[in-house]
Amino acid sequence: MGGAVPAKARPRALVGEGGIEVAPDLTSRWMRPGFRTLRAFAVALLALHAHGAVSDTTTATSVQADVLTGTGRERLLIADPSLRASDAARINTDLASKSGEIPAPTPGYRVTGTVIVQTSDAALTESIRTDLGARPISGLPEFHRIDAGSVGAAIEVAEILSATPGITTVHVDTRRPVSLRGPSDPFYILQWHLRNIASPGTDIGAEVAWSMGFTGAGTIVGVVEGGWELTHPDLAPNYSAEASTPGGAATSHATSVAGLIGAVANNGKGGVGVAYDAKISKLVYGTSSQTAEALTHRNDIHHAKNNSWGPSDNGTVWPISAVEKAALAQSVHGRDGLGTVLVWAGGNGAYWVKDRADYDPFASSRYVICVGAIDDDDDHAYYSEPGSCLLVVAHSSGGPGAGDKQIYTTTAAGAYTSTFGGTSTAAPLTTGVVALMLQANPNLSWRDVQHVLINAARRCDPTDPSWTLNAAGRAVSYEYGFGAVHAPDAVELATRWHSLPPERSYAASVPVNTAIPDGTAEPIARAAFIPDNYLVESVEVTLNVSTAYVGDLAITVRSPGGTESILTRTRNDPGDNYTNTVFTTRRSWGERARGNWTVTITDPVEGDPATWQNLTVTVHGHCPSDVNRDSELDILDFLDFIEAFGPCTGVRAPCYGIGGIGADYNRDSVIDVLDLLDFIDDLSSEC
């Protein structure tokens, strides 16, 4: 099955900046006798990965290569061919003038580790799917993507396949430099959060994501609030009546939020939304039951729902009703089980009352994406609440000093405002990016979305002392979560993301029944042991403490790897008792769950003694060795993983995570013995 690979298909060498060949001669490997099928080609390709031959092509600082791009063969100077995607510049020797003058290299290229193949041969189509793990491009059945694992490997693969009978066209998936043509809306120039001309890069990167073809088309995003102005000329064309709830009264706040997500582009009015081709719905909150219904309404068609609201920012731990709590949990069943993505503003009480997002049971729920704010200087917005539950940050208003920029968007009465801000802005900007991601890959689950946002986050304000490394080696901050939302990286990663294994959870309960030392710094600590060894996504600490003043108590949880998460600080909170109160931390993301999770409480304020009754630590995550995603660890996972050392074929779905090749178990873009050792170690340790 599949076409033969003729001996003349010799891969072109990669050369360093000085013209020295740095790629080994792989011809004998590819063309050895008997190598005549795509399956043999696939095995050879993976053998090259395993023995480092592909990565050996990148010993130079940068590498020149003849690359089959979508518009022909071009010679490119590639920054790092060992990566899954690399910046590059075109070498223009073929464009010399009559006088022999060669134009300077053209920057702005982006070369990927993906090969695009076109064939109308049914047998060959089956072969490239089975033998090379090719995935069809939506709506274009003759075209397929092959994930070669790295830029260097993709160049080699494209050369081989270019001479394969039956293949019409083949090229390395490459983004050519483009002239970004932002929306023509008259006040788009004021939307620095989308494109920051004064300080390039300190924005959400919307224009680049749009230039990649992602504008939110085909998605529906809900705005959960009191109601927005449906007749606003910059919003009305994107209004989805089908997805909306009745009632409510339009507010300027909700109208501004809706505009940040889905204001129409190129209509000669105002500015634009991040996902300007998305449909937006009106979901009216109110009483606990009304809010619950808004959160669950038409989750079969809602891709995401934005929530730029929360309890009063007064530094107190707020309760949540059972019906609202259930509605948050129910969201994961939307979109045929993929989940409706909930985005929540982290709160604006940091400066005045030292409030924390952790005290908000909505924003701190593991089912939502909690978003903080950074300003036009790319650092912490003074009002944005820190928290262990914080996932990411996005741009918003600065201030309150002169020269600090605010946000331009729609407002009531068909008008516009240039003074919007707070985490109410950061949340819808993130929601808009989520819409772009779900256009790029509609198969992302609610957990996949969180993973992609974290992996694609940009480390803003990198010298800030709040940044620390958790036990998994991931940078995290109480102020910034895992970093700033960056639309281009998020949509690019979304396009090649494969669904995670099923969620695993383990709850460990510990009786305490002990008085907390009153008025001293002496802590009381209890450890809850988690026996499973899966990778952590979120941790919930459920507490029962009797006291007349919960604000006296400072609470932390420490992971088995030593990562500390502050859940509460001593503050002015006169609330009585913690009764099954849940605090959530994301700070141990990517760590191993197994071991003692130690919860510590201190009561440094004299008076109002407290008694700690019990605690439960629940760790949620996934088991990477559950290769076939059946929630069981058995011989089938082992067989599927071994099979994945041939190209990822999709049999029992061995592809997962960032890698397009199932054998890249540790996701370092190199397939070698470490992947096998890591897999066996996980499988033998019950994960």
Length of the chain, please? 687
- State the amino acid at position 619 in one-letter form: V
Q: What is the mean pLDDT of residues 523-547?
A: 96
The torsion angle over the Cα atoms of residues 41, 80, 458 and 406, rounded to 10 degrees, is: -120
pLDDT tens column, 288-339:
999 999 999 999 999 999 999 999 999 999 999 999 999 999 999 999 999 9
Q: Which residues contact 261 (CB under 8 A, 6 or more apart)?
A: 221, 223, 273, 274, 275, 278, 280, 306, 428, 431, 432, 435
More confident residue, 652 or 402: 402
Cis? peptide before 523, omega within 30° of 0: no
pLDDT tens column, 170-218:
999 998 886 666 799 999 999 999 999 888 889 999 999 999 999 999 9
Q: Which of 7-11, 155-159, 408-412, 421-425 has the lowest mean pLDDT?
A: 7-11
- 8 A C-beta contact, residue 285 and residue 226: yes
Q: Look at the pTM and tell me if it is higher than 0.85.
A: no
Q: Quick one: pLDDT band at residue 2, thresholds 50, 70, 90? A: very low
Architecture of the CATH domain 188-495: 3-Layer(aba) Sandwich (3.40)
Fold matches, 188-495 and 503-622: no
> E strand or H helix at 483, and its extent?
none
**SS3 (DSSP) at 648:** coil
Task: For residue 12, give the DSSP letter.
Answer: P
What is the SS3 string spanning 167-200?
A: CCEEEEEEECCCCCCCCCCCCHHHCCCCCCCCCC
Q: Hey, where are the domains in the chain?
A: 15-175, 188-495, 503-622, 635-684
pLDDT attached to residue 120: 87
More confident residue, 125 or 233: 233
> If one looks up domain 503-622 in CATH, what number appears?
2.60.120.260
pLDDT tens column, 21-61:
333 333 333 333 333 455 555 555 544 444 333 333 334 46
- 8 A C-beta contact, residue 600 and residue 525: yes
- 8 A C-beta contact, residue 272 and residue 259: no
